[in-house]
Amino acid sequence: MEPFATVEQYEARYGAADDHKALAEVLMDATREIAAELDREGISYASPGVEFADRLMQACRSMAYRAMGAGEPNVPFGATQYSQGAAGMTESYSLGNPYGEVYVSKAERKLLGLDRQKAACVWPYGRIENA
């Protein structure tokens, strides 16, 4: 399986990457995650049209960017909260994705058509029939 996005496509959107080998691996991980989600929903990605291929590429790049941890040099990527002290010399961050995991976000699910809601009915004690 080829990744849905190349290193060149990633760099065209987010700028030069420091480690091309690691980026290629993360792009492949993102591709596998996307493929698993599409398989689960029964959506074919074997020969996508131009528009769907672009969406696959966009989602793959976005997932890789989040996992690679690119961002401001003095602030960790994914920092959701920051605090700084003065005399006590404290500084702390809260991170949204501290381990660099590759996952499909809600926005990416929507982009790929995976955001459909489903409804089901469960009968916990079997169906009750009228006598």
pLDDT digits (tens, 9 = 90+) for 17-75: 889 999 999 999 999 999 999 999 999 999 999 999 999 999 999 999 988 875 555 65
pLDDT classification of 89: cutoffs 50, 70, 90: confident
Please report, for the chain, the start and end positions of each structural domain, with discontinuous segments joined by +: 7-73+99-112
Q: Is 126 helix (H, G, I), strand (E, B) or coil?
A: coil
Tell me how many helices (H) and strands (E) the chain has.
Answer: 4, 2
Contact 11, 65 (CB under 8 A): no
d(C-alpha 44, C-alpha 26), whole Å: 22
Do the bridges between strand 91-95 and strand 79-84 make them parallel or antiparallel, or are there none, so unpaired? antiparallel
Q: What are phi and psi of 94, to 5 degrees?
A: -110, 130
pTM value > 0.75: no
If one compares 28 and 92, the residue with the highest pLDDT of the two is: 28
Cβ atoms within 10 Å of 110's Cβ, excluding its own: 12
pLDDT classification of 95: cutoffs 50, 70, 90: low
